[in-house]
Structure 1
Amino acid sequence: MKSGHDAVRQLQYLPAVGAAYGVEALSFAALRAMDADGRRTRPQRPDFHVFALVASGGGAHEADFQDYRLEAGSAVWIRPGMVHRWSDVDACDGPMILFQPGFAPAEAAAPVCWRLEGQQLSLALLAAEHLGREHEAAVRAPRLASPPLLAHLLAALILRALPDRRALAGGSGGPGGLRGPGEPGRRDDRRLEVFRAYQAAVEEHFTGRHHVADYARRLGYDARTLTRATRAATGTGAKTFLDQRILLEAKRLLAHTGLPVGACARRLGFRDAGNFTTFFRRQTGVPPATWRAAYGATRVAVRD
């Protein structure tokens, strides 16, 4: 889906010369060096993944209307399409990995930001360092380059860093299917597969299809099957998952564009502004115009 968000910088995956392997190893220091004018502090929407670990220092990050404090041990995973900004990472140090969709195993519902401690942090930083060294070697000596190896090292890093390692069980393609003793069996794998199909369909069609039954027919599943699979993966039902995705895009449009409420409604597939307002009020407790005004006032207060 094209967002058309006027105030959000759209970022495309453009690796450095010689680094076109679907993944690129950077760091917070490299980000600051490449961004001397501080564009990182303004809203941006990448079409790629960003996975970062804070080895030392601290700062702040904002992703889709949630503020996160960063400290030593913080892990951040920005997915394609998220509107985010590095509010304050001038004092952060640690690895930052950029990678294209499909390069790493799919995940069900990993958080945006969480904290690693002790040995888990040490091992995650070690995994990131290994990936960084292999990436550097691939850039300096292309004959040594191995995208499958880089993909496996990235998968190992994510598996090591995730708060719940089961979230990546059963991933398809490349390094997918990594599983250890005690991780989900066939029944859980099947539910995860169903959820991923539903998740992908929602992402593609949520602006035009607002009913779970539509997705069930398209995917060939019973609506109850989608609900069970979604609840197992995310803790919420299929309808709630769909509504939350529509609501998130509504907030993005209201916060980051000057579109009238009626135009936002049309972009999101509502028949008219009244239906959109009813939906938005049911989800948030306030009408769209009120939420937009409050969000704008909050941003001004933060800047002041």
Structure 2
Amino acid sequence: MENGLNTVRQLRYLPALGAAYGVEVLSFAGLRAMDTRHRRVQPQRPDFHVFALVGSGTGTHEADFHSYRLREGGVVWIRPGMVHRWSDIDDCDGPLVLFQPGFLPGLTASEAAAPACWHLDRQRLSLALLAAEHLDREHSTAVRTPRLASPALLAHLLAALVLRTLPDTPPATDARRSGSRHTDVFRTYRATVEEHFTDWHQVADYARALGYDVRTLTRATRAATGAGAKTFLDQRILLEAKRLLAHTDLPVSSCARRLGFRDTGNFTTFFRRQAGTPPAAWRTAYTGSGGPGETGPRSTAPPRPRS
């Protein structure tokens, strides 16, 4: 997203010296101290996860066309590829955990189902902050005393933190009870969608490539996300379409080509069906309104990617 209406910074995971374990613990205060030029308020797209707890204070942030208010007990989970900005975190404090994709592969299904931001009650927040403190202490020890470093321990502590904070989910359905097989199938489907969504627009394409039938992919995706495989795929294409329209000045026809549509008419029909308005009208409304208009429980920080 180099040329655009709002240039998006591409953030790469670059850990601090001596902290190359695939995970790093910062804080809102530390982020503000590092980011003296306030680049955090500009759109950015990280290639890593940011998992943050708001221990105190209030603020706002935006991610993928939603604006969210932050307050005590807030949890923020920015996944790789999200376009976001910290609109206002001057009064927020709490831990920020940065970690690389694949560091917690077993949580893929939970990650897909979780929102970008939600809220914890005081008791759960207290437990989550303790878990984050434990992770921070082990990480600091690993940096100071490499002989005591244990990436596996850091991964377990991060998993405990995420599991402690994940929002409540509905009671398990029969599909969820089948457990690991559905998780593995969805994980494979999701990774393949990420790789091929600009070329393959039908679930049957993925079924053939992965050796599953369409019903298997649909059941696994619904178990993980609550939506079917086709809806999951269409929403991924739509999200990328919105990113292109909002953050580049590419004409609609070029956006269509980048997303694998043979002609602009097909892309316009798809976008109108999914978003309720044609792509050009959506872009005009978005840029004219100055950005996200939805508010609710979603963002990321520049980690140590240094500019």
* TM-score computed with the length of structure 2 as normaliser: 0.89
CA distance in 2 between counterparts of 1:75 and 1:102 reads 21
State whether residues 5 and 253 of structure 1, in contact with CA within 8 Å, keep that contact through their aligned partners in structure 2. Answer: no
Partner secondary structure for residue 25 of structure 1: strand
Match of 2:237 in 1: 246
Match of 1:219 in 2: 210
Q: Pick from 245, 251, 276 the counterpart of residue 267 of structure 2.
A: 276
Match of 1:139 in 2: 143
The answer as to 2:108 corresponding to 1:107 is yes
**AA aligned opposite 2:226:** G
Shift in CA distance, 249/130, structure 1 to aligned 2, threshold 3 Å = same
Shift in CA distance, 5/248, structure 1 to aligned 2, threshold 3 Å = farther
Match of 1:77 in 2: 77
The answer as to 2:47 corresponding to 1:47 is yes
The answer as to 2:192 corresponding to 1:201 is yes
Match of 2:201 in 1: 210
Cα displacement (A) at 1:46: 0.3
CA distance in 1 between counterparts of 2:162 and 2:240 reads 27
CA distance in 2 between counterparts of 1:165 and 1:40 reads 32
Match of 1:57 in 2: 57
State whether residues 222 and 229 of structure 2, in contact with CA within 8 Å, keep that contact through their aligned partners in structure 1. Answer: yes
The answer as to 2:263 corresponding to 1:266 is no
**AA aligned opposite 1:31:** L
Q: Pick from 273, 279, 289 the counterpart of residue 280 of structure 2.
A: 289
Matches within 5 A, 1:1-40: 6=4, 7-40=7-40
- 1:143-172 Cα shifts (integer Å, max 9, x gaps): 2111111111101111111114799x9xxx
Matches within 5 A, 1:46-195: 46-104=46-104, 105-108=106-109, 109-164=113-168, 185=177, 187-195=178-186
Cα displacement (A) at 1:89: 0.5
CA distance in 2 between counterparts of 1:106 and 1:49 reads 12
CA distance in 2 between counterparts of 1:134 and 1:94 reads 17
State whether residues 62 and 292 of structure 2, in contact with CA within 8 Å, keep that contact through their aligned partners in structure 1. Answer: no
- 1:40-95 Cα shifts (integer Å, max 9, x gaps): 01100000000000000010111100111100000000000000111110000000
Q: Pick from 225, 234, 243 the counterpart of residue 225 of structure 2.
A: 234
Match of 1:175 in 2: none
Structure having greater relative contact order (Cα 8 Å, sep ≥ 6): 2
State whether residues 265 and 272 of structure 1, in contact with CA within 8 Å, keep that contact through their aligned partners in structure 2. Answer: yes
Cα displacement (A) at 1:188: 2.3
Partner secondary structure for residue 260 of structure 2: coil
List runs of 5+ in structure 2 lacking aligned partners. Answer: 294-307
Partner secondary structure for residue 107 of structure 2: coil
Partner secondary structure for residue 290 of structure 2: helix
**AA aligned opposite 1:41:** V
Cα displacement (A) at 1:118: 2.1
Cα displacement (A) at 1:110: 1.5
CA distance in 2 between counterparts of 1:79 and 1:262 reads 28
Partner secondary structure for residue 76 of structure 1: strand
CA distance in 2 between counterparts of 1:196 and 1:264 reads 27
* TM-score computed with the length of structure 1 as normaliser: 0.90
